[in-house]
Structure 1
Amino acid sequence: MIAICAVLLCCLEVTPAPSQSPPAPVLDRGEPITPIPPAPAVDPLKAALGERLFGDRRLSHDNSRSCQYCHDVATNGASQRRHDVDLDGVELALNTLTVFNSTLSFRFSWEGKFRTVEADIKASLESRHTMGSSAAEISAKLDADPDMRDRFVVAYGRRPDGRDVVDALASYQRTLLTPGGRFDRWLEGDDAALSAEELDGYRLFKSLGCSACHQGVNVGGNLFERHGIFHPLASPEPKILRVPSLRNVATTAPYFHDGSAPTLEDAVRKMALAQLNATLTDRQARALVAFLNSLTGTWRGAPVGGSP
């Protein structure tokens, strides 16, 4: 999703072992955005189990949907719909946020209600609007499956347990980082990674004030903001939203918390006017969209969403 509107250790100097080469220096361009790091080390057995659970419909009360239903990691980590629907077929109030890079943000959900990925997952499993289940119900279903029971014993040393279901899903979600985008390659020193228009778009992104809210490793996701500062924007509620990440934003249409902007250019123009009181020229809009396209990273060796 997109919301363009008006962050950062002391290191111990370690001498590498004789058989090792020292790490290559990382170029610091002094920019407000930093590259996505490699995925953190997680227990591979727990992450693999979490990936299996992510696509398991038994996590929903009526066995009708899995996490993948709203968070399609084969495309954009969210969905192509303006609003996903609840278990009764009623549209959800807010557009679905992508699961890619979500663990790099400081809070979870549009309103930032949850401080940890585990709390966010638990709430989704229990919410009557999404999965409508409970730890006891999910555990009983999985324990009745000999193969799944064996997988939990291997990964956790015990039979399926609600806490371990959440932990496995969280372990998997922490692997869903998408490094390697062209903008990240530019940040890391590859001057040929961006075109002249993309660089122009990035300069505009900073000079117009977009980077005041969209900065850091996730190009957003680390503060709250009121929308519609100068002009109305999208649905008036909720008034205060967690600024979403712009990582892979070119793949996550439609945009805004209500999904009311069908294209990235439409979203950029509306956000500039509503949040910055700026009316973009056609050239400015094209340049900003070009820059935002460069934020598309890779997942398992391929660009997210298959975009260039």
Structure 2
Amino acid sequence: MPEPPAADPLKLALGERLFADTRLSNDGKLACSSCHDINTNGTGREYAMARHDGSKAPFDTLTIFNAPLSFRLNWEGNFRTLEAQAESSLENPANMATSVEDVVGRLNADPEIVRQFRAAYGRAPDRSSLLDALATFEKSLITPGSRFDRWLAGETSALSAAELHGYEIFKSFGCVSCHQGVNVGGNLFQRQGIFRPLVHAKPDVVRVPSLRNVATTAPYFHDGSAATLQETVRKMAAAQLDRSLTDDQVSALVAFLQTLTGNYRGIPVKAAPP
């Protein structure tokens, strides 16, 4: 896992401020941080959250941590860039229910944030600077320093024997076929339920999620239907690999997955409170 990329500190600070700014929503009640809490696991507290329009969210909220390392964004993988995803979120009537133009107008009415934009971009807020500032901050949301990363770097004592056994199962059973690369996933699409049903909600094909910080981001699957890692591991093995796992195998795999928790600004990522 790389360190966060170098960034202009003025753009980074501006992006962080915008990420928590409720003026990015139509009624001033929601910010990006409302669903992506960077003080905990980078996602929402629970799956069954009410959206801006009062409807139930069809997808479990993915963590914003390490999102820049995935080859597509969202469960359906329908965005290639952070800027495109941010603009879509602003315009989605079920979420922010606004537009880039309206947000820019509200920001331009604030002399202090206009000053911050001019310092960072040399001009007042506009579409490109707004989306670039948000993307610049989101690109910084990388969580290096997991025990697995330390082990990969040569710290042999970073993983226990049980965790190493889980890693061997993870590779030998085929989990690594989809969950690989720097983000331990996030770099291909896959069909859900190859040998038996996995989830009841569409779509059948989703972008494979990253397993980084997975121990902190319950519930699991795109519909949030699995409450624990133990349940998730059993269901995945049966549906995707046609395997029935023993209790010891489940425990070993979960132990390995718990080593994938990294650090944000030097502090371990943690689960959101219930």
TM-score calculated relative to the size of structure 2: 0.97
Alignment deviations for residues 98-150 of structure 1 (CA, whole Å, 9 cap, x no partner): 00000000001101101111111111111112111111110111111111111
Matched, 1:55 2:20: yes
How far apart in 2 are the matches of 1:217 and 1:227? 22
Q: Distance in 2 between matches of 1:89 and 1:66?
A: 16
Which aligned pairs between 1:17-56 and structure 2 lie closer than 5 A?
36-56=1-21
SS in 2 for 1:199: helix
Contact 2:53 2:93 in 1 (8 A): no
Structure with the bigger percentage of helix: 2
Kindly provide the CA deviation profile for residues 161-189 of structure 1, in whole angstroms up to 9, marking residues without a partner as x. 12211100000000000000000000000
Is the Cα–Cα contact under 8 Å of residues 217 and 271 in structure 2 kept in the other structure? no
* Matched AA of 1:181: S
Number of aligned residue pairs:
272
Structure-2 separation of matches of 1:168 and 1:84: 27
Alignment of 1:1-308 (within 5 A): 36-305=1-270
Query: How many Å separate the matches in 1 of 2:77 and 2:271?
Result: 29
Shift of 1:306: 6.3
Alignment check: 8 A CA contact 1:224 1:242 kept: yes
Instruction: Report the Cα offset of residue 236 of structure 1.
Output: 3.7
Q: Which amino acid aligns with 1:285?
A: V
Q: Give me the whole-angstrom Cα distance separating, in 2, the residues matched to 1:265 and 1:164.
A: 43
Residues 237 and 245 in structure 2, CA contact (< 8 A), matched pair in contact too: yes
Conserved? CA contact 2:201–2:223, under 8 Å: no
Between 1 and 2, higher relative CO (CA 8 Å, sep ≥ 6) is seen in 1
8 Å contact from structure 2 (residues 91, 97) kept in 1: yes
Contact 2:220 2:226 in 1 (8 A): yes
CA distance in 2, matches of 1:244, 1:235: 18
- Whole-Å Cα distance in 2 between the matches of residues 179 and 196 of structure 1? 22
Task: Give the Cα–Cα distance (whole angstroms) in 1 for the partners of residues 200 and 62 of structure 2.
Answer: 16
Q: CA RMSD in A?
A: 1.1
- Cα distance in 1, alignment partners of residues 100 and 221 from structure 2: 32
157-166 vs 56-65, which deviates more? 157-166
Q: CA deviation at 1:79?
A: 1.2
In the alignment, the residues of structure 2 paired with residue 165 and residue 234 of structure 1 have an alpha-carbon distance, to the nearest angstrom, of 37
- Work out the CA distance in 1 between the residues paired with 2:258 and 2:13: 30
Supply the distance in 1 between the matched residues of 2:41 and 2:62 (Cα, whole angstroms): 10
Contact 1:59 1:133 in 2 (8 A): yes
Distance in 2, Cα, partners of 1:205 & 1:62: 46
Please say if residues 83 and 258 of structure 1, whose CA atoms lie closer than 8 Å, have aligned partners that are also in contact: no
Runs of 4+ in 1 over 6 A off after TM superposition: none
Q: Is the 8 A contact 1:222 1:242 kept in 2?
A: yes
Q: SS where residue 158 of structure 2 aligns?
A: coil
Q: Flag the structure with larger Rg.
A: 1
TM-superposition CA deviations, 1:55-93 (whole Å, max 9, x none): 000000111110001101111000121133221221111
Distance 1:203 1:277 in 2: 18
Unaligned runs of 5+ in 2: none
